[in-house]
Every structure is written in structure tokens, then in C-alpha cells.
Amino acid sequence: MRKHTIILLFFCLCLTVTACCQRERCPFPKGGATVELPGQSEVYHGVLPCASCPGIDTWLLLYKDGDGRYFRMVESYLEEKDAVFFSEGRVMEKGDSIIELEKGEATLRYQVCGNQLYLQGDVTATGSGREDPGSTDYTLYRMPAPLKQ
């Protein structure tokens, strides 16, 4: 039963992400091609707070490729039309429990705690991050890895 649940969750993730893709901006394969996660990858998901909508449905893929760690992020603003944003970039490790995602002009800082990432904020704007890094409102949860047969 657990195996079927994990496989179902993985397929739902793939369908959700590819359904949200806009043709010219989609970072994933087109034309029915399968989505292969890079080696040593982790997928995180959560709905983060938003001032103008019920929340931001956020999917984050962290992976190693050659000389470093990288990310791909899909952010979908709930109940907002055409408000799906894709970004990708480099992951910088700052000590044992802090990672920073270089996302265009912004640098997002996350605290790593087990299978969760706590968003501390845009350190480009503030220089430090949020005061309460452990708030569950700003948490991304690691999704179970798909089973290999």
C-alpha cells in the first residue's frame, strides 16, 4: 500500500508541474517526454503565505550536477490567473544547516532541519532574513523519493 501511495504522489507531482508549464517558459521536457530527476535530487513542497492571494503553491527541486548544486522552483499563486513563475539557479551552502538559492537578483535563505526547509527570507533585501525561522507558515516539506523497480 505504501509503495502505491508514493508512486501516486510522484505522478501527481509530475502532472501538476507539467500542467502549470507555459510553453515558452517551462523548464521541463515537452511532447509527452518523461521527467527524469537528476541524481541525488530532493523535491520539496509547501504553500507559503501571500499578501494578495490565499497562498503560493511552491515546488522546489534541489539537485547535484557536475560541479555544484542547483535548483528549479515553480511558484503558483493560488486563485490568480496566469500567476505561475519558474526559476532556476545555483544553491550555495552556508554552514551545515543553511542554504541560499540565487534566484535572479534575489537570494533566498532556507534553514535545513531534517526533512524540512524553513524560508528565512530574501537576504538580498534585508541582509539577514526573518526573525522567526521556525514558523510552519514558511515551511517546505521534503517529498518521498519515488521507488525504483
Burial 30-68 (b: 16+ CB within 10 A, else e): eeeeeeeeeeebbbbbbeeebeeeeebbbbbbbbeeeee
How high is the pLDDT of residue 104? Answer: 81
Average pLDDT over residues 120-131: 66
Over the stretch 55-105, which tens digit does the pLDDT of each residue have? Answer: 999 999 999 888 889 999 999 999 888 889 999 999 998 888 899 998 888
Q: What is the topology classification, in CATH, of domain 2-24+38-142?
A: Lipocalin (2.40.128)
Q: If pLDDT is split at 50, 70 and 90, which confidence band does 7 have?
A: very low
Looking up cell 534585508, which residue turns up?
Answer: 126
Q: Are 107 and 89 in contact (CB under 8 A)?
A: no
How high is the pLDDT of residue 4? Answer: 44
Structural domain boundaries of the chain? 2-24+38-142
Over the stretch 14-49, which tens digit does the pLDDT of each residue have? Answer: 445 444 444 343 444 444 434 455 567 899 999 999
